[in-house]
Every structure is written in structure tokens, then in C-alpha cells.
Amino acid sequence: MSQHRLVNPLVRNIRALKRVALVRQSVRIEEEIKQGMKKPYNEVIDVSRDNPHATGMKPMSFVRQVIASCIYPELIDSDKMPLDVRKRAKTLLECIGGSVGCYSDTIGIPIMRDSVSDFLTRRDEGVPSASGKIFITHGSDHGFGLLLTMLVRGDRSPLVGVLTPVPSQDFGNATLVASGATAVPYYLDGQQGWRLHTEELQRALRSAREVCDPIALYVINPGDPTGHVQSRESMEEIIRFVYEEKLLLFANEDHQDILIGEGCMFISYKKVLAEMGSPFSDAVELASIHSASKGFMGEGGLHGGYLELVNFDPSVQIEFDRLISLLVLPIIGQLALEVMLNPLQPGEPSYEHYQEKWDWAEQLYGSWLTMALNLCVCRFGRLRITHVLVIFQEEEQLPDFFYCSRLLEQTGLCVCPGSDLGLPEGTYHIRLCIMTSVDTMEEVLRRLGKFHKQFMKDFS
């Protein structure tokens, strides 16, 4: 029987990420090293994405102690863990039904929504947050996946469009496409630290209206992978834009606790919206996401996040509740999220562990500085340095994947080709994530510098 008729045409539209091929190349290389094959390097360093634990950053001890104790409750009853860890684990274990093996309610473990809403109210200095408008998710991608399922699946015509920033991670070409939406790119300004210009949004929207029904603007603040932090003025401009154009606003605020750059400060879209007052504050429909996967938690493997809906029509909220009733949420990610939302307070015995957070920030800042200094010394052609992440641009007509694959094979360094981030043909970039230790970053730059000199010699 022919299966061709059975394949969903949307799946065919998913653009395979080149980074996936590179990661598999890495696995192969590591296997060869293990089997004793001689290479000019001892191990692969993968800075192709924000995966800080894989490149030398340490997880927060308190988080891990609490989760380990929930997993293996004998640790709670022994003296193998600090008292506050045991206390926290005991409370959480009661909430989840006594075992991490229990199924979670589809709205999350009982305290979860309240924890998120308390966290948001504190963070936004009193802007109210209702727990009924908060949805626990597997992480940020999942939050947007739910929104998109809600809005775009089915046989709607014309195609639904979402204005999506470039450069940005795989969201634009994967989750969106699979859900049957179209990503309409708007380009961030690489000449100005990857700022977002409202004129560019207007241009993107005009061009979108020729091919689809654009319903939402997707923003990432702080930027990923650019590291750009939006100013309050810029956010107000964006809010006015979505208000006038009757667009939903999807804000990915995943990196809110990690900023590098002078005078940078995180303000949430929700807070800016509330402070702008009427007509914006009660009209603009905002969906905001955050998770324990990014920032100084970096627990990408654990899958805990949330989504908050602001100003959504009550009838939409009812349908969203219905959709949520399908969810089966992993418990461990929720535990990580819970600890993130309710950090240790001064006076608690493990509070000193929070020094780790500052060590983390120091490493990251050091890594950024090392990168900045080294790039100046090495003169790698034209460069773009952003606050958190760096994109390296070459004018030569080099296929970016060819460069990355060769770099990986010869030096064991894995970086991400710019085309994976939506950057247009002819602008060859690589992305490397600086969310790593200073030592690792020095090694990264040593490998990259040596390779690049030879590469330029061989191919120019």
C-alpha cells in the first residue's frame, strides 16, 4: 500500500535544522575518540546553542538537592541533606501526591499556579496576576505550541501568520510550520546591537498581508540569540503597534534573569502594558512565557515553564482551559520551576549556596569579556558582538554549514550556522553561545582562531 497519501503536507515543510546534523556529527566524533582514534583535540565543545551545563556551568546545588530528595525520599529522612532542603522537599512531595511518579493535574501540581502568580506580582511590583490565567507547560516552546494549536490548526483559510524575529532559534521554522502557521520574518538591526525598529515591523506586516492573515507579533526579550535588551520606550512603541494593528502579542521572556550590558534592566511587557494605562492596558492581548530552562537555572533537560494570558477574551480562555485538559505535565520540571519561583531567603541555612548564582554571573561576564577582547585581537573580519551571544559574520561566499562542519571535524568545536536562525542567504554568520565558563570560552576562541586563519588561507 502506498503511504505517500498519508503524510501530512505540513511535515514536509519543516526545514531540517543544520545544527541537528552537526550535533550528530559531534556524537560520531566523540564515539571515535572513545574508541581511541587520534584527533588533534581531546573532546568536542558544543557552543552551538544555550546549553550551559554541557559547557562547564554548574547547576544550582539547592535546586538539585531538593529534586534529588523528592526523587529518593530516603534522603529527606536522613542527615544527608541540609535541613532546609529536606523541609522544602517534604512540602513539595506532599503537593505532588507523595511520589514524582504520580501523574500531575493538567493545570500543574496544586501550588504551582499560585506560586507563579505570587512570583509575577512580586516581580512586577504589584501589577496583579490571577492564577486562573496561568498555564504550566513543559517549557517555553511548549507554551507557544499550545497557543498555536489554539489559534492556527485546522482548515482555516487563509493561512495564519506570526511575525517572527530574525535571527532567532528554531521556533520560526519548526513549531510554527508544524502547526500550520506561517512565520513572517522581521529583521533585527545588526548594525545597532540587534535592536527592533517599528518601521521594520510595519514593513513585515504589509508584506505579510499579501500572503496570509497575520494575527500575532512574536518578540523575544531579552533577545535570543542576540542578547539585546529592549528599552521601555521601545516596548511602548511595540505595544502601540500591536494595539493599532489588532495583533496578539507573544512575549518570550525566558532570559529575564540574565542580562549583560551597561544599564540593562529587565521590565516585563505586562508591567509596561499596565503602566501605559487605557486604552492599551485593557485591550492588548498579551501571552508571556518564562521557564527554568534558561538563565542561571539552565535546566533545559527538566522541562518546566509557564504561560500567562493577559486581556484574552473570556471565551478564548474557556477554550484554552479545554485544550489544557489534554496536558500530561512532567513533575520534575515543575519542581525546578517551583524552586526558581521561590528562591531561598537570607537566613535559611542553604542561602549561602546562592553565591553560586553570582559565580555563574561572573563566569558569564568573564566569558563575554574574553570573547570581546579576543575577537578584537584576532581580527576575524567583520564582527557583531551582542550582549549575551555573538554572531560572527563573514563577507566571503562561504556556505555556513560547510564552515561549521569543517570546524567541527578539524577542531572539535561545534557552532551553529546562521541560516538556522533565519538569516538570509548571502549573509554568512556563525552563532556561538557565550553562556559558558571563562576557561571553556578561552579554548573555544583558541580553536576558532587557529581554524579560521587556516581556512582563509585555504579558500581565499
Of 68 and 369, nearer to a copy of itself (C-beta) is 68
129-188: which residues touch a copy of itself (CB under 8 A)?
138-139, 141, 149-157, 170, 174-175, 178, 180
User: How would DSSP label each residue in 291-304?
Assistant: ESSSTTT--TTT--
**Contact between 42 and a copy of itself per CB under 8 A:** no
Instruction: State which H helix or E strand residue 310 sits in.
Output: strand 305-310
Kindly indicate which of the ranges 14-22, 202-210, 263-271, 388-396 contains the residues binding a copy of itself, using the contact rule CB under 8 A: 14-22
**Is-contact 330 61, C-beta < 8 A?**
no
**Is-contact 163 205, C-beta < 8 A?**
yes
Residue selected from 126, 301, 381, 424 as contacting a copy of itself according to rule CB under 8 A? 301
342-381: which residues touch a copy of itself (CB under 8 A)?
none
* Smallest separation, CB 440 to a copy of itself (Å): 12
3-class DSSP assignment, residue 155: coil
**Contact between 323 and a copy of itself per CB under 8 A:** yes
Q: Binders of a copy of itself: how many residues, by CB under 8 A?
A: 89
* Smallest separation, CB 61 to a copy of itself (Å): 8
Of 180 and 412, nearer to a copy of itself (C-beta) is 180
* Smallest separation, CB 364 to a copy of itself (Å): 15
Interhelix angle for 61-71 vs 331-341, to 10°?
Answer: 140
* Smallest separation, CB 150 to a copy of itself (Å): 6
Cell 544599564 locates to 263
Of 31 and 395, nearer to a copy of itself (C-beta) is 31
In whole angstroms, what is the distance from residue 19 CA to residue 416 CA? 6
Cell 570581546 locates to 372
Of 139 and 185, nearer to a copy of itself (C-beta) is 139
**Is-contact 414 44, C-beta < 8 A?**
yes
In whole angstroms, what is the distance from residue 74 CA to residue 144 CA? 38
Of 8 and 345, nearer to a copy of itself (C-beta) is 8
Strand partners, 306: 136, 290
Of 2 and 460, nearer to a copy of itself (C-beta) is 2
Long-range contacts of 447-451 (CB under 8 A, 24+ apart): 447/41, 447/45, 447/407, 447/411, 447/412, 447/413, 448/380, 448/407, 448/411, 448/413, 448/415, 449/374, 449/378, 449/380, 450/411, 451/406, 451/407, 451/410, 451/411, 451/413
Secondary structure letter of residue 221 according to DSSP: S
Kindly indicate which of the ranges 10-18, 217-225, 355-363, 384-392 contains the residues binding a copy of itself, using the contact rule CB under 8 A: 10-18
Kindly indicate which of the ranges 57-65, 225-233, 382-390, 438-446 contains the residues binding a copy of itself, using the contact rule CB under 8 A: 57-65
89-128: which residues touch a copy of itself (CB under 8 A)?
96-106, 110
- What string marks each residue from 66 to 85 as x (binds a copy of itself by CB under 8 A) or -? -xxx-xx--x----x-----
217-276: which residues touch a copy of itself (CB under 8 A)?
246, 248
Of 36 and 346, nearer to a copy of itself (C-beta) is 36
**Contact between 33 and a copy of itself per CB under 8 A:** no
267-286: which residues touch a copy of itself (CB under 8 A)?
283, 285
Residue selected from 29, 45, 65, 447 as contacting a copy of itself according to rule CB under 8 A? 65
* Smallest separation, CB 154 to a copy of itself (Å): 5
* Smallest separation, CB 56 to a copy of itself (Å): 9
Distances from the Cα of 193 to the Cα of 260, 316, 384, 388, 392, angstroms: 13, 37, 8, 11, 13
Closest of 118, 143, 147 to residue 131, by C-alpha? 118
* Smallest separation, CB 94 to a copy of itself (Å): 10
Q: Beta-strand (E) ranges in 44-196?
A: 45-46, 134-137, 160-166, 182-187
- What string marks each residue from 384 to 423 as x (binds a copy of itself by CB under 8 A) or -? ----------------------------------------
**Contact between 339 and a copy of itself per CB under 8 A:** no
Cell 484554552 locates to 320
The number of CA neighbours under 13 Å toward the Cβ of 160 is 21
3-class DSSP assignment, residue 394: strand
